[in-house]
Amino acid sequence: MTTGTTDASGTTDTHIHAEDYSALADGTAVRRWTLERDGTRVRVLTYGGIVQSVEVPGRDGVRGPVALGLPDLAAYREFSGPYFGALVGRYANRIAGARFELDGTVHRVTPNEGANQVHGGPMGFDKRVWEARRVPDGVCLSLVAEDGEEGFPGRLAVSVTYSLDPGGALRIGYRATTDAPTVVNLTNHTYWNLAGADGTSALGHELRIAAGRITPVDGASLPTGELAPVDGTRFDFREPKAVGTGYDHNYVLDDSPADGVAAELYAPGSGRVLTVRTTEPGMQLYTADHFDGKPFGPCAGIALETQHFPDSPNRPEFPSTVLRPGEEFTSTTVYGFSVR
């Protein structure tokens, strides 16, 4: 199926193509959607809502890959731990002790990182096959997480729309509703390498983050509850500087950055620039130091995961992630591309 959305003049905006891609062992079909507009080409799988590839031009005008992706479904099944390009939920990042209390009831969720839960548990949204339908300029993925899945309360209906804006920016819009009080934190886990996403290191990219504070973590990567200023520390990216190793931390984004940009990543060699705009209060910077060469080496990509804060269900001092019946969770993140 190949389609394009049109404006009043009949001009095609985003070219959209859907195709059969693969299938799970039980026969469940996996489809791939390709979106193309103004030089940007994005491929999305219905398995895990995975952004398999993003291609944009460099300074030389040649379009190339900027997101780490794998060649086939078998590879995504084998290397699921890094969450390459995946939609992450029901709760992105960590929940301490794989438990939280909500309205006086303790809920125990499935641990998958020692005693803690990370990214929704062993069968989180990254391992589900999403329903897909075409929408203007993109594709809308949807699923239902039943009450009790991975220990979370409430039947959660989720939809995530991938679309391309004028100029080729990738817009990700999240929505969710529930039939019982629950917690929700959704993100996309794409790793960026603006030099070409070919497995070489992304260190040396210049990064700017509009954040004056981080949420420090303990030895288990769980937040201490403090909101620590970045002044005078290696965590200060308020002015652009080269990215080094050792980052897996949540940044407390400024409420109103001067240019509306929460983060900007730049590769001097290719000239590619990635900007991140988001409605979320936080962003996890992860430099993928722990990659072991299977299939990528250390620091082959940089994740900029827009999110609510880690372990918020156990941290009442953090922005709330509680969703109740009659409410709708909404969130938008836009990844823009340019060159300089």
User: Residue ranges of the domains in the chain?
Assistant: 2-339
What length is written for the chain? 340
The pLDDT value recorded for residue 256 is 86
Question: Catalytic site residues?
Answer: 189, 305
Query: What distance lies between CA 146 and its chain's CA centroid?
Result: 22
**CA 250, CA 82: separation in Å to the nearest integer?**
17
List the binding residues.
93-94, 189-191, 248
| pLDDT by 10s per residue, the chain, length 340 | 445 443 333 335 999 999 999 999 999 999 999 999 999 999 999 999 999 999 999 999 999 999 999 999 999 999 999 999 999 999 999 999 999 999 999 999 999 999 999 999 999 999 999 999 999 999 999 999 999 999 999 999 999 999 999 999 999 999 999 999 999 999 999 999 999 988 899 999 999 999 999 999 999 999 999 999 999 999 999 999 999 999 999 999 999 888 999 999 999 999 999 999 999 999 999 999 999 999 999 999 999 999 999 999 999 999 999 999 999 999 999 999 999 9
**CA 236, CA 291: separation in Å to the nearest integer?**
24
Q: How far apart are the first and last CA of the chain?
A: 36
CATH topology of domain 2-339: Beta-galactosidase; Chain A, domain 5 (2.70.98)
**CA 177, CA 159: separation in Å to the nearest integer?**
9
The pLDDT value recorded for residue 310 is 98
The pLDDT value recorded for residue 12 is 53
The pLDDT value recorded for residue 6 is 38
List the binding residues for beta-D-galactose.
93-94, 189-191, 248
The pLDDT value recorded for residue 258 is 80
